[in-house]
Chains A and B, each alone.
Chain A
Amino acid sequence: MPRKAKLPEAATAAPPPQPGMTIDQAMALAYGHWNAGYADQAEQLCQQVLQLWPEHFDALHLLGLLAHGHGNLPLAIDFLRRACNTPRASALFHSNLAEMLRQSGELLEAEKAARRAVTLDNNLPAGWNNLGIVLQEAGKLEESRSCLQKVVERTPDNPEAHNNLGNSFKRMGRLNDARRHYDQAIALNASYSEAHSNLANLLNELGEVEQALAEARLAIELNPRNADAYLNAAGIALGQKNQDEAMRWIDNVLSFAPHHPGALIAKARCLKEDDRPAEAEQFARQAVVAADKSSEAHEVLAQVLQALDRCDEAMEHYDKAASLPTATPETPVVSKAVMLMEIGRDRESLQAFDQARAINPRSANVWFNRCELKKFTADDPDIAAMSALLDSAAANGMGPADQMSLHFALGKALMDAGEAEPAFAHLAEGNRLKRATIDFDVESAANWLSDIAMTFDRERMTRFASAGDPSAMPIFIVGMPRSGTTLVEQILASHPQVQGAGELTILQKMVDRISGPDLRPIGYPQLVEQLLPEDLARLGGHYVERLRGLSQGRSRVVDKMPANFLYAGLIHLILPNARIIHCRRDAVDTCLSCYTKLFHGEQKFAYELRELGLFYRAYERLTDHWAKLLPAQRYTEVCYESVVDDLESEARKLIAFCGLEWNEACLEFHKTQRPVRTASVNQVRQPIYRASVGRWKAHARHLGPLLDALGLTLEQA
C-alpha cells in the first residue's frame, strides 16, 4: 500500500564486483538490475566499472538510459554522446541517442545519429524506427515512410511500428493508409493510448468528429498523461468552434506539464482566436523558450505578433519557423505569404506562395490561400494543376477538408477566367462538402431572428435607457458578410483617432456565457428578460475593458464582426453611446459573394443557395426592426453601392456619425499599412471595386434557388 511511508527499496547496496569478476560480467549484472527495476544498484555497478575503465562504452550507455528513466534528458544525451564517442559504440547506442535527441527537439543531430545507427547495423529495427520518426518530424516524409515500412515488415506484430508508419502516412496526406496502420496498431494492442490519440486526430480530419472525440477520450483514459491526446481533443473542439472546451483540454496539459511546447503553442493559438493577442504572446514566447528549435513555436509567435500589428517582428519569426525542420514545412511559408498579402505586399506574397508550393506542391492549403492573390485567366496553368490534384484526391486519400478548399479555389479561379459553368460546378461541390459538416436549420434560424426582434421593443428600450456603460469608444460595423463591412472599416480605421480591431468574437462569447442560477447558459434573446440595470452596465464595462486592450491608445475602436447585427438592440442597452453602422448591399450580390467563399469563421447559412436567400430575408427583417427602433445618432445604415458611387460624401457622413473631425486620410484607405484580415482582403487594396456591383446578373441562371428564396424572378435580373 503506497500510503504507508517507508524508505525506498534501494537500501540494499549492489554487490561489489566480485574479485575475479570481469567487467563484462559486472555490466551484465548492471543490466539485469536495470531490467528488474533496481536502478540504483545498476547505477552503482556502472560507476564501479567507470572507476576501473573510465569512459567504458556500455557503462556510459546504461547511465544514459538510467538518466532518461529519471527524466533527465540533457544528462542522458550527454552520457549517450560519450558512449557513442567510443570505438566500441554499437548501432543501438546511436539509435538510442537519436531518439533522445529527437525528444529534445535536436532534429538535425538526431538524424545524423540515426543514420549512423542504420549504417552500423542495417538489420536493427530500432535504428530504422528511430530514423523514420526523426525524418517524419523533419518533414522528409517519403524517406520516413520507407524506413518505417522496413520496421513493419520486420516486426509485423509490433503495434508501435504500425503507429509510427501511420503517422508518416497521415502527414503525407495519405489518410486511408494512415487509418489502416492505426487500426492495426490498435488491433495488436487495444490499450495503446498513442495509437488511439493519433486515430482521433485522423478521424477529426476525416470529419468523423464524434468518433474522433471518443478516441481522444479513450486515449486519455488509457494514459492520463498523454499530452498529445489532450491536444487532439482540443483540436477537435476548436474545429467545432468551441474555444472554451479547447482551452479546458489545453489547461489540463499545462496543469501537469507546464512547459509542454505543444500545449503552450495550442494555448497561444487559442487565445489569439479568442481575440486576446496580448495574453497569447506570453504563451507563444514561453513556447519559443521551451522549444527554441520548434518551427511551430516560432510560427505561432509570428501569428500572434501579426495579430498585434507587429508585422516586422512577425516576419522574423515566420522566417525562423521556415528555416527549422518540421513535419509540414510549407505551413510557416503560407502563413508568411498570407501576412504579406494582408499588408499589401502582393509581389512578395506571391513569391512566398511560390516558395511554399515548391516545398509541397500537393498542399491544398497553399493553393487555396494563393488563389486569393491573383486574377486568373483561362490559360493559367494553375487551373490545370489544381484540377489534377483534385482528380487524384481519392487515390491519395486526401481529406475532405483539403478537397473542399481546392473546390473553392478552382471556383474562384474559373470565375476569374470567365468560365462560369465549371466554376459553379466546383463551387456547388465545395459548398456541398462544407454544408455536410454543418448542423443548421434555416427555418429555426429565421424564427430565432424574429424572436430577437420581438424581444427588443420600444418599451424595453425606454425602460433601460442609459443604464449601460457610457463609453463612446466602441464602433460596431454590422451586416451580412461580404456586404462591404471591410471597406467601411478601412475608411474609418484610416482616421488617426480610430483603431480597427477586426472581427471580434468578444460580444458573441459574452452573450453565450451569460448563465442563469442553474449555471446553464440562458440563451439569447431570452436572457434579456432577466437582465437588471446593473447587469447592463457590467456587461458594457466588460466589453469596453476588452476593447481597451486592443485600442493601441486610440479613442475609438472598430469591431467589425458582421454577425453583431444580431445584437444591435443589446449593444445599445449595454453601451448607449456606441455607434453602430449597418452595411447594406444588393441582396443577390451579397449572397453570391458569400456562396463563393469558404469562410474561416462560422457562417452556417452561407453554403446552400436556398438557405442563403431565406436567411438574407430574415436578416433584412431584423435590421429593418433595428432601424426603426434605435436612435439615428447611434445606429445608421450605409449602402455599399453608394460608397462605391460617391466615396467622399459617404465617408464624410460616416466620420460625422462617429462624432469625429473629418480627416483626408479616410479617402486614401487603400494606402493604409495596417493589415486587413478578412475574406475581403484583396478588394480593399484596390481603390474601389466597382466590378462587384451587380456582378450576379451575369450568373442569374446558376442562382435559381437563391432567387426563389429571395422572392425574385429572373426577369428582375
Chain B
Amino acid sequence: MTVLSADQAERQARAALAADQLETAETLLRALLASGRGPLHLWSLLASAVRRQGRIEEAASIQKMLVEANPGHFELHFDLAESLLLLGDFDRGWREYHYRYRLQHTSHLERKVQAPRWDGRPIPGKRLLIHDEQGYGDTFQFIRMLPWAKEKSGAHLVLQINAEQIAFARRLSGIDEIVLRGELPPPFDLHCEMMSLPMALGLQLADLPGPMPYLSGDKRRLAKWKRRLAKLPRPLVGLVWAGRPEHLNDANRSVTLASLAPLAMNGVTFLAVQKGPKADQAKSPPAGMTLVDLGPEIEDFEDSAAIVSVIDLLISVDSSPVHLAGALNRPAWVMLPFVAEWRWMMGREDTPWYPSVRLFRQTAKGDWGGVLRRMASELARLAGQPEPVFAAAAPAPVPAIVPVPALKDCRHGRMLFLPNDLYVGRSLDLYGEFSEAEAQLFESLVGPGDVVVEVGANIGAHTVHLAKKVGPGGMVHAFEPQRVIFQLLCANLALNGLFNVRTHHAAAGRQPGSLLVPPLDYRAENNFGGISLCDVDRGEEVAMVPLDALDVPALRLLKIDVEGMEAEVLAGARQMIARHRPILYLENDRREKSADLIRLVDRLGYACWWHTPPLFNPDNFNRHRDNIFAGTVSINLLCLPKESPLVVEGFRQVAGPDDWFDAQ
C-alpha cells in the first residue's frame, strides 16, 4: 500500500467526487479526517460525499457541526437547510433556508428591498409586498401560502409575480393587488420573499397540503383542450422528460424521451407536453409508443394547466409541470433522482405538498431503469393492460379463503364480523370482545344523553357499546369509509336494536372532497381495520367530509382511529372542537407522525396522556386463556381540554412532541 500525502489524498478525493465515485471519495476523506480534526473544506467535501450517497441524516450531523464551528459561512447554512428540509425538519430547515441569497453565486440575485421583512406577526392596516423568486415550480408550490399570509397578517396584500404565472394569481383569493415583476409596486410597509413565507408563518408538515386544489385553470382553455383531446383514445398520459437546462442539477433530473421507451404499451395514448430546447425529441418517439406531440400547440402555462386537467396522468421529471398538476390536484407521477431536491423529502412515495402526486425514486444513483420498470407496471394496471414482462415482483400468495362472516354473542351484544380479520374479527371470535380496556375507559367518560363521534368505527365493536352507554337520549355518529366494513357496522347496529346511531359511509378529513379506498380482498386474512387511506391511487371513491360540517348540539367524546390520518381529521374538526371541547381519544401508533399530532393537540389546547390498552384481556368474556396477541397493545392518546376539571390517574402524561409511549 502506498502512503499518500495529505495533498495527494485531497486531490484524489476531489477527482473521485467529480467522477461520482462517492465511496472512494468518502474513504479518502475519512482517512484524512481520521484524527477527528481537519480543515473546513475537507469536512464539507465529506458531507457532500455522504449526502450524495443518500445518507442525509449523517450528512446533516456533519453539516450541523460545521455550522456550529463556522457560523459565518452562509454556504454551510444553506447546505444544512437542504438536508434538514429533506428530513422534514421544518423548524430549523426554513430558518437556515433564508440564507439562500447569501451564497457566492446568489448574492447578486437578492433583491435588496429597503422595507423590513415580515416576520409573521399580525400587521393589520399595513401593506405587505410578497414577491416571487425564480423557479416557476417554486412559485406554483408556494403560492398556496398567500391566502395564509393574508389571514395571519391582516395586511393589505400586494403580490409581485412574473408574467407567465400572473393569471393563476389573479384567480386566487385573498390577494388585494397584483403587480408584474420588474414593475414598480405601490408603496408598502413590509415585504417577504415568497419562499420566506414558510419561515415567517412557521410552516409545519401538518399544515400541508392545505385546501386542494389551490390553483385553477382558465375555463376557455379547458374547453379548447377538451375538444382538442376528445377524439384520442384514453387513457391519456402526458410526458415531460426534461427540465430547464440552466438548472444546476439538470443533469441529475432530466432524461430523454428515448429513455422512456419502457412505458410504451398498447392502449395508452402518450402526449408530449415538453417545452423548451428538448421538445424536438417528440419528433422521433420510441418504437411502439403512440405519441401525440402537443409541444408546438402549448403557448403558456394556461395550456399546460388545461392539458393536465383533461388527461388521465402526467408522467414527468422533477420540473414545473409537476407542481402545476399538483396544485390543480391532478394525478401526476414524478421521476426522481436518487437524492432528490429537498421538497420531495426522503424515502416516501407520496408528498405532503400534493395529495395527487406520486413519487417514483431511483433506488440507486443514476438508475432510471428501475424507476421506469415500476412506472410501467403501475401504468399497465391503470390501463388495464397485462403487466410488462420485466415486472419481476410476484403477486402475493392468497391464503385459504374463509368466506362467510360469523355471528356470535359477545360482551356488549350480538356481533357480525369477519373471522379472517386479524384483530377485531379474531378477538370477537375467540374472546367475545375487542380491546375491552378501551371500553372500560369509555365507561368512565361517557354517560346517558352524551353525544359521541367515532371516526373509523370499523364494524362497530365499540360503537355498539358506546351507543348503549349514551342511551336513547344520546347520539353516536360513526364514520367508516370501507364499504364492506361499513355494511357490517350497520348490520351490528341493527342486530342490537340501536336507533341512536347515525352511520356515515365516508372518511373524515380536512376539507370536503373524496378519496380512494383501496380494493381489498375481504375474503383473505388481513387487518381490515389497518387500512390507511393516506396514500392510495386506485380503488372505490368515497366521500370525505370535515367533521365541522356535522351539526351536533353537544359533544362529549371524539374518538379517532384512522390509521395515520388523525391529524387530518382534527384539522377538519377545529370549529367543532373549539365549540364543544370534547374529550379526544386518538390512535397514535405511527411514530413518524406522533410529534406532529401531539403538537397539533397541544395547539388545540389539550393535555394528553398515553393509553396503551393490551389487545388481550385475561378476564375476557369467553374466559379464553390463550393469548394469541402476545404483548400487542394499541397506542392511543387520551386528551382532555386543558381547562377540564377531570383528574387523570394511573396514565402517564405526554411529556412533549418527541415523547413516545414506552419512554421511561
Stretch at the interface among A31-39, A133-141, A200-208, A622-630: A31-39
CB <8 Å contact, B71 and A224: yes
9 contacts between A and B (CB under 8 A): A1-B134, A2-B100, A2-B105, A3-B247, A5-B105, A35-B114, A36-B184, A220-B71, A230-B72
Q: Which of A14-48 contact B (CB under 8 A)?
A: 29, 32-39
Cross-interface CB contact of B135 among A1, A11, A230, cutoff 8 Å: A1
Taking A35-B114, A230-B72, A255-B73 as known contacts, 12 extra A-B pairs with beta carbons closer than 8 A to each other, sorted by chain A number, are: A2-B101, A4-B244, A9-B111, A34-B114, A36-B129, A37-B111, A37-B112, A37-B191, A224-B74, A248-B69, A252-B71, A519-B36
Give A12 to B108 CA distance when docked, in angstroms.
Answer: 16
Is A225's beta carbon under 8 Å from chain B?
yes
Contact flag A69-B112 (CB < 8 Å), given A2-B103, A4-B135, A519-B37: yes
Is A428's beta carbon under 8 Å from chain B?
no
Is A6's beta carbon under 8 Å from chain B?
yes
Contact flag A191-B119 (CB < 8 Å), given A37-B113, A252-B70: yes
CB <8 Å contact, A2 and B134: yes
Give A33 to B69 CA distance when docked, in angstroms.
Answer: 39
Contact flag A4-B246 (CB < 8 Å), given A29-B184, A36-B184: yes
Cross-interface CB contact of B109 among A8, A11, A39, cutoff 8 Å: A8
Is A221's beta carbon under 8 Å from chain B?
yes
Is A256's beta carbon under 8 Å from chain B?
yes
Residues of B within 8 A of A (CB): 35-37, 69-74, 77, 99-101, 103, 105-106, 108-109, 111-115, 119, 129, 133-135, 137-138, 181-182, 184-185, 187-188, 191, 195, 244, 246-249
CB <8 Å contact, B184 and A33: yes
Contact flag A519-B35 (CB < 8 Å), given A5-B246, A38-B184: yes
Give A519 to B70 CA distance when docked, in angstroms.
Answer: 20
* Shortest Cβ distance from B112 into A: residue: A37
Contact flag A4-B184 (CB < 8 Å), given A34-B114, A256-B72: no
CB <8 Å contact, B113 and A36: yes
CB <8 Å contact, A35 and B115: yes
Distance to closest chain B CB from A196 (angstroms): 14
Cross-interface CB contact of B182 among A3, A12, A191, A248, cutoff 8 Å: A12
Distance to closest chain A CB from B626 (angstroms): 53
Residues of A within 8 A of B (CB): 1-6, 8-9, 11-12, 29, 32-39, 69, 191, 220-221, 224-225, 230, 248, 252-253, 255-256, 518-519
Contacts of B182 in A (CB 8 A): 9, 11-12, 38
- Top-3 shortest CB links A-B: A37-B111, A37-B113, A2-B106
* Shortest Cβ distance from A39 into B: residue: B112
Contacts of B114 in A (CB 8 A): 34-37
Distance to closest chain B CB from A459 (angstroms): 32
Contacts of B113 in A (CB 8 A): 35-37
Give A433 to B182 CA distance when docked, in angstroms.
Answer: 63
CB <8 Å contact, A9 and B35: no
Give A1 to B105 CA distance when docked, in angstroms.
Answer: 12
CB <8 Å contact, A32 and B106: no
CB <8 Å contact, B77 and A5: no
Distance to closest chain B CB from A43 (angstroms): 12
Give A253 to B73 CA distance when docked, in angstroms.
Answer: 10
* Shortest Cβ distance from A4 into B: residue: B247
Contacts of B71 in A (CB 8 A): 220-221, 224, 252
Give A38 to B180 CA distance when docked, in angstroms.
Answer: 13
Contact flag A255-B70 (CB < 8 Å), given A2-B100, A35-B114, A37-B112: yes
Contacts of A1 in B (CB 8 A): 100, 133-135, 137-138, 195
Contacts of A12 in B (CB 8 A): 182
CB <8 Å contact, A252 and B101: no
Contacts of A34 in B (CB 8 A): 114
CB <8 Å contact, B187 and A32: yes
Give A288 to B77 CA distance when docked, in angstroms.
Answer: 33
Give A29 to B99 CA distance when docked, in angstroms.
Answer: 30
Give A712 to B244 CA distance when docked, in angstroms.
Answer: 88
Distance to closest chain B CB from A227 (angstroms): 8
Distance to closest chain B CB from A99 (angstroms): 15
Cross-interface CB contact of B73 among A8, A36, A256, cutoff 8 Å: A256
Contacts of A3 in B (CB 8 A): 106, 247-249
Give A1 to B36 CA distance when docked, in angstroms.
Answer: 34
Distance to closest chain A CB from B252 (angstroms): 12
* Shortest Cβ distance from A224 into B: residue: B71
Give A642 to B32 CA distance when docked, in angstroms.
Answer: 57
Give A598 to B37 CA distance when docked, in angstroms.
Answer: 38
Give A191 to B121 CA distance when docked, in angstroms.
Answer: 13
* Shortest Cβ distance from B179 into A: residue: A36
* Shortest Cβ distance from A257 into B: residue: B72
Centre residue among B99, B108, B109 by max chain A CB count within 10 A: B109
CB <8 Å contact, A5 and B35: no
Contacts of A252 in B (CB 8 A): 70-72
Contacts of B100 in A (CB 8 A): 1-2
Give A11 to B108 CA distance when docked, in angstroms.
Answer: 13
Distance to closest chain A CB from B27 (angstroms): 20
Contact flag A255-B72 (CB < 8 Å), given A2-B103, A519-B36: yes
Distance to closest chain A CB from B72 (angstroms): 4
* Shortest Cβ distance from A70 into B: residue: B112
Cross-interface CB contact of A224 among B72, B105, B188, cutoff 8 Å: B72
Contacts of B115 in A (CB 8 A): 35
* Shortest Cβ distance from B138 into A: residue: A1
Distance to closest chain A CB from B100 (angstroms): 4
Contacts of A11 in B (CB 8 A): 182
Give A248 to B72 CA distance when docked, in angstroms.
Answer: 12
Distance to closest chain A CB from B538 (angstroms): 33
Contacts of A224 in B (CB 8 A): 71-74, 77, 99
Distance to closest chain B CB from A116 (angstroms): 24
Distance to closest chain B CB from A350 (angstroms): 45
Centre residue among B105, B111, B195 by max chain A CB count within 10 A: B111
Contacts of A38 in B (CB 8 A): 111, 182, 184
Give A6 to B73 CA distance when docked, in angstroms.
Answer: 23
* Shortest Cβ distance from B71 into A: residue: A224
Contact flag A9-B112 (CB < 8 Å), given A220-B71, A224-B71, A255-B72: no
Distance to closest chain A CB from B189 (angstroms): 11
CB <8 Å contact, A32 and B72: no
Give A454 to B150 CA distance when docked, in angstroms.
Answer: 74
Distance to closest chain A CB from B224 (angstroms): 31
Give A347 to B191 CA distance when docked, in angstroms.
Answer: 64
* Shortest Cβ distance from B247 into A: residue: A4
Give A9 to B244 CA distance when docked, in angstroms.
Answer: 18
* Shortest Cβ distance from B119 into A: residue: A191
CB <8 Å contact, B73 and A4: no
Contacts of A37 in B (CB 8 A): 111-114, 191
Give A34 to B70 CA distance when docked, in angstroms.
Answer: 33
Cross-interface CB contact of B185 among A5, A9, A36, A519, cutoff 8 Å: A36
* Shortest Cβ distance from A29 into B: residue: B184
Give A666 to B114 CA distance when docked, in angstroms.
Answer: 70
Distance to closest chain A CB from B290 (angstroms): 34
* Shortest Cβ distance from A517 into B: residue: B35
Distance to closest chain A CB from B107 (angstroms): 9
Contacts of B72 in A (CB 8 A): 224-225, 230, 252-253, 255-256
Give A36 to B112 CA distance when docked, in angstroms.
Answer: 8
CB <8 Å contact, B181 and A9: yes
Give A163 to B248 CA distance when docked, in angstroms.
Answer: 43
Contacts of A225 in B (CB 8 A): 72
Distance to closest chain A CB from B512 (angstroms): 33
Contacts of A2 in B (CB 8 A): 100-101, 103, 105-106, 109, 133-134
Distance to closest chain A CB from B85 (angstroms): 12
Contacts of B247 in A (CB 8 A): 3-4
CB <8 Å contact, B108 and A8: yes
* Shortest Cβ distance from B37 into A: residue: A519
Give A33 to B244 CA distance when docked, in angstroms.
Answer: 30
Give A225 to B37 CA distance when docked, in angstroms.
Answer: 24
Contacts of A6 in B (CB 8 A): 109, 134, 246
Distance to closest chain A CB from B99 (angstroms): 8
